[in-house]
C-alpha cells in the first residue's frame, strides 16, 4: 500500500487513476508521494519516507529541487499538459489584436441605454474594423509543446507560418506541420512577420530576447504575442515603440505596471492554462508519473533527476538507486551484487547535472544486507527495492 497526499486541491479525474493500492492521507509526514500545484514547499520538513513530489503544472519554483534531490526525492512536473489551453488563448490574443474587438465591446457597454444602438452601431463599426489573420505571416519563436500546437493550428487557419527553434526536440520536429517554414535566423522573423509569438522558456539566454533592437526591425503593423513569460520581452522598449507607432500591438498574459493600460497593449491575467481541461490534464499526468515511479521505478518528466524508463520489470527483482553523478558508482554496485551472487539482467544509468539514477533488473531477490551495502556507498542518496 502506498500513501499520498495533496498539498493543493488536485482534479478528481487525476486522483481517480490511483488504484486500490493507494491511500490518501492528510499529512505530508505520512506520505510517500505528494501532489502539489502552487503550495510553497521551501519551508516544509520533508519526511524521510517521501519518495516523490509531482507538480501538476510546469513551473517548479515553489519546490526546493536540490533539497529534494539530496534527500532522494524525485520531483516531477507535467510539461505540455496545459499546451492546448495556452494555444487557444494565443489565437484569441491574435484576433483581439487584429480587430478592435475590445474597443467594440467597450463601445457597446458605453451605449447600452441607447434605444437606437443597433442603428448607431452600423455607423460606428468602421472605427473598430481590423484585418484577418488568414494569409498573414506568423513567426513562432520556440517550437516546444505550445509552439508546435500554435504553428500547426495557424497553418490550418490559412497563415503563412515561420518557425524558429535551434534546439527543437526530435519529438516536436515529428509533430510539426511540413508547411511550417524553417527559419535559422530569428531576425528574419522580426523583419518579415506580421504576427510574432514567443514560446521559449525563461533562461538567462532568453531573458529580454525581444529587445529594442528586435522591435526596431519589425513592421509598423506588427503584432507581438507573449504567452510565455513577461521577462522574455524588454517591455519598456515595447511600450515606447507602441507609443511611437513603430509597431501595432503587444498582447501579454502577464500583467504588470509597465504594460497594463499602456497604448497598444492587451493584457490578460495569466489565463493561458486556466481551463478545466488543463487542470485535468495536469492531474492525470502527475498521477501517472507518480504511479510509474512507485510501481516500476521509472522516471518520466523529472526536474531534478534524469528521465529513466525500463518499462515493467519482467525479472525476479528491480532496484532503483538515486545517487550523485560522480564516477565509479556503477562498478561499486556491480561488485556488491556480484559478491552476493546476484546476476544483473538489465541496467540503465542516467545522469543529469549533479544527480543520477540507476535502475537495475536482477535475476534473484535482493536481500536487506545487499541493500544496506548499497546504501553505505558514498554518494548514494536512496536505494529502493521496487520488486
Ligand atoms: N501563459 C501561461 O499560462 C503558460 C502556461 C504554460 C507555459 N507557459 C510558458 O510557455 C513557454 C513555452 O512552454 P512549453 O511548454 O511550450 O515549453 P517547451 O519546453 O515544451 O518548449 C520550449 C521550446 O523553446 C525552445 N527554445 C529554447 N531556447 C530557445 C531560443 N533561444 N530560441 C528559440 N527557441 C528556443 C526549446 O528548444 C523548446 O523547443 C514557457 O515559457 C512556459 O513558461 C505559459
Q: What is the pLDDT along the chain (387 residues), one digit of tens a residue?
A: 999 999 999 999 999 999 999 999 999 999 999 999 989 999 999 999 999 999 998 889 899 999 999 999 999 999 999 999 999 999 999 999 999 999 999 999 999 999 999 999 999 999 999 999 999 999 999 999 999 999 999 999 999 999 999 999 999 999 999 999 999 999 999 999 999 999 999 999 999 999 999 999 999 999 999 999 999 999 999 999 999 999 999 999 999 999 999 999 999 999 998 999 999 999 999 999 999 999 999 999 999 999 999 999 999 999 999 999 999 999 999 999 999 999 999 999 999 999 999 999 999 999 999 999 999 999 999 999 999
How many Å lie between the centroid of ligand 1 and the Cα of residue 141? Answer: 9
pLDDT at 58: 82
Residues 100 and 136 in one domain: yes
pLDDT at 353: 95
Residue nearest to atom 35 of ligand 1 (CA): 142
Residue nearest to atom 1 of ligand 1 (CA): 272
- Domain range for 284 is 1-80+276-305
How many Å lie between the centroid of ligand 1 and the Cα of residue 200? Answer: 3
This prediction's pTM: 0.84
pLDDT at 36: 97
CATH number of residue 111's parent domain: 3.40.50.720
In contact, 362 and 314? CB cutoff 8 Å:
no
Residues 210 and 176 in one domain: yes
Is residue 385 in some structural domain? no
Residues 196 and 101 in one domain: yes
Residues 106 and 21 in one domain: no
Is 93 a pocket residue for ligand 1 (Cβ < 6 Å)?
no
- Report which ligand 1 atom has the smallest distance to the Cα of 205: 31
Pocket residue to mutate for ligand 1, from 38, 56, 60, 146, most atoms within 8 A of Cβ = 146
Residues 252 and 351 in one domain: no
Residues 200 and 331 in one domain: no
Is 237 a pocket residue for ligand 1 (Cβ < 6 Å)?
no
Is residue 216 in some structural domain? yes
Residues 367 and 219 in one domain: no
Residues 259 and 193 in one domain: yes
Is 58 a pocket residue for ligand 1 (Cβ < 6 Å)?
yes
How many Å lie between the centroid of ligand 1 and the Cα of residue 195? Answer: 18
Cell numbers for 195, please give them.
504576427
Residue 265 pairs in a beta bridge with 250
Residues 318 and 289 in one domain: no
Is residue 46 in some structural domain? yes
Residues 150 and 246 in one domain: yes
- Report which ligand 1 atom has the smallest distance to the Cα of 80: 15
Residue 238 φ/ψ, nearest 5 degrees: -65, -45
Is 37 a pocket residue for ligand 1 (Cβ < 6 Å)?
no
Residue 284 φ/ψ, nearest 5 degrees: -60, -45
Domain count across the chain: 3
Residues 48 and 10 in one domain: yes
pLDDT at 44: 95
Max CA separation in the chain (angstroms): 92
Residue nearest to atom 21 of ligand 1 (CA): 144
**What whole-number distance in Å separates Cα of residue 13 and Cα of residue 292?**
17
H-helix or E-strand spanning residue 357: strand 355-362
Is residue 387 in some structural domain? no
How many Å lie between the centroid of ligand 1 and the Cα of residue 351? Answer: 23
pLDDT at 59: 81
Is residue 386 in some structural domain? no
Which residues are within 8 A (CB) of 319 and not within 5 positions of it... i.e. 6 or more apart?
297, 359, 360, 362, 366, 371, 374, 383, 384, 385, 386
Residues 88 and 168 in one domain: yes
Is 164 a pocket residue for ligand 1 (Cβ < 6 Å)?
yes
**What whole-number distance in Å separates Cα of residue 93 and Cα of residue 268?**
9
Amino acid at each position: 500500500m502506498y500513501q499520498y497526499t495533496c498539498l493543493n486541491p488536485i482534479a478528481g479525474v487525476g486522483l481517480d487513476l490511483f488504484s486500490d493500492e493507494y491511500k490518501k492521507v492528510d499529512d505530508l509526514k505520512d506520505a510517500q508521494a505528494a501532489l502539489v500545484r502552487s503550495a510553497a514547499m521551501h519551508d516544509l520538513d520533508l519526511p524521510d519516507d517521501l519518495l516523490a513530489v509531482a507538480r501538476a503544472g510546469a513551473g517548479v519554483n515553489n519546490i526546493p529541487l536540490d533539497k529534494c534531490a539530496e534527500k532522494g526525492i524525485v520531483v516531477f512536473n507535467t510539461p505540455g499538459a496545459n499546451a492546448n489551453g495556452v494555444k487557444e488563448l494565443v489565437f484569441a490574443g491574435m484576433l483581439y489584436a487584429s480587430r478592435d474587438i475590445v474597443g467594440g465591446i467597450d463601445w457597446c457597454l458605453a451605449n447600452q441605454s441607447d434605444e437606437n444602438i443597433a442603428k448607431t452601431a452600423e455607423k460606428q463599426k468602421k472605427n473598430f474594423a481590423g484585418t484577418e489573420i488568414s494569409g498573414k505571416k506568423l513567426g513562432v519563436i520556440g517550437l516546444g509543446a505550445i509552439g508546435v500546437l500554435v504553428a500547426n493550428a495557424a497553418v490550418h487557419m490559412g497563415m503563412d507560418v515561420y518557425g524558429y527553434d535551434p534546439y527543437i526536440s526530435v519529438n516536436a520536429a515529428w509533430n510539426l506541420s511540413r508547411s511550417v517554414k524553417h527559419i535559422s535566423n530569428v531576425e528574419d522573423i522580426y523583419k518579415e512577420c506580421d504576427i510574432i509569438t514567443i514560446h521559449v522558456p525563461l533562461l538567462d539566454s532568453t531573458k529580454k530576447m525581444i529587445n529594442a533592437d528586435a522591435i526596431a526591425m519589425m513592421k509598423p503593423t506588427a503584432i507581438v504575442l507573449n504567452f510565455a513569460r513577461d521577462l522574455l520581452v524588454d517591455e519598456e522598449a515595447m511600450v515606447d515603440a507602441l507609443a511611437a507607432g513603430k509597431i501595432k500591438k503587444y498582447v501579454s498574459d502577464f500583467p504588470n505596471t509597465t504594460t497594463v493600460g499602456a497604448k497598444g497593449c492587451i493584457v490578460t491575467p495569466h489565463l493561458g492554462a486556466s481551463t478545466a481541461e488543463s487542470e485535468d490534464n495536469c492531474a492525470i499526468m502527475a498521477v501517472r508519473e507518480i504511479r510509474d515511479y512507485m510501481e516500476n521505478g521509472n522516471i518520466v518528466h523529472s526536474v531534478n533527476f534524469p528521465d529513466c524508463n525500463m518499462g515493467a520489470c519482467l525479472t525476479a527483482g528491480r532496484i532503483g538507486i538515486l545517487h550523485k553523478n560522480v564516477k565509479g558508482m556503477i562498478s561499486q554496485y556491480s561488485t556488491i551484487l556480484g559478491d552476493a551472487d546476484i546476476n544483473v539482467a538489465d541496467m540503465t544509468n542516467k545522469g543529469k547535472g549533479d544527480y543520477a539514477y540507476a535502475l537495475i533488473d536482477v535475476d534473484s531477490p535482493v536481500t536487506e544486507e545487499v541493500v544496506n551495502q548499497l546504501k553505505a556507498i558514498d554518494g548514494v542518496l536512496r536505494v529502493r527495492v521496487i520488486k
